[in-house]
Amino acid sequence: MSGKQEVKGKKDSKGAIRLGRKGDPRMHKAVTARLADPKLSLVDALRAGGFDIPLDAEGEHIMIDGVTLSQRKNQLSRRLRIERQSVDQVTYLGVLKVLLFMF
């Protein structure tokens, strides 16, 4: 047996290996909706993503597909934070490359 370990996972379009679960497509849509309109509330972004949330549902104990509303909102906030961090990192690297080539 060789010293290399085989990494299991699917490759994305850029050839990078993606580990973990694919994710709920409704959450992907909710992230996209909130990024497009930052003034949108988390609940409204979840609704835009396709989650069936009653109109008067601001209580945290409401269950949506076996998960509480507060858990859905926390997950959406986490995904938004990760998305913003990745955009900031790409922007930083782009600026760094420009500065390096200037000198």
Task: Please list, in sequence order, all residues whose beta carbon lies within 8 angstroms of the beta carbon of residue 69, skipping any fewer than 6 positions away.
Answer: 43, 53, 57, 59, 60, 61, 62, 63
- The larger pLDDT score, comparing residue 100 to residue 12, is at 100
Domains in the chain, number: 1
Could you report the per-residue pLDDT of 8-65, keeping only the tens digit for each? 555 666 666 666 667 889 999 999 999 999 999 999 999 999 998 887 666 666 887 8
Residue type, position 92, single letter:
Y
pTM score: 0.66
Q: Give me the domain span that covers residue 50.
A: 21-102
Question: What is the helix (H) or strand (E) element at residue 11, kind and residue range?
Answer: strand 10-11
Find out whether 52 and 83 touch, Cβ atoms under 8 Å. Answer: no
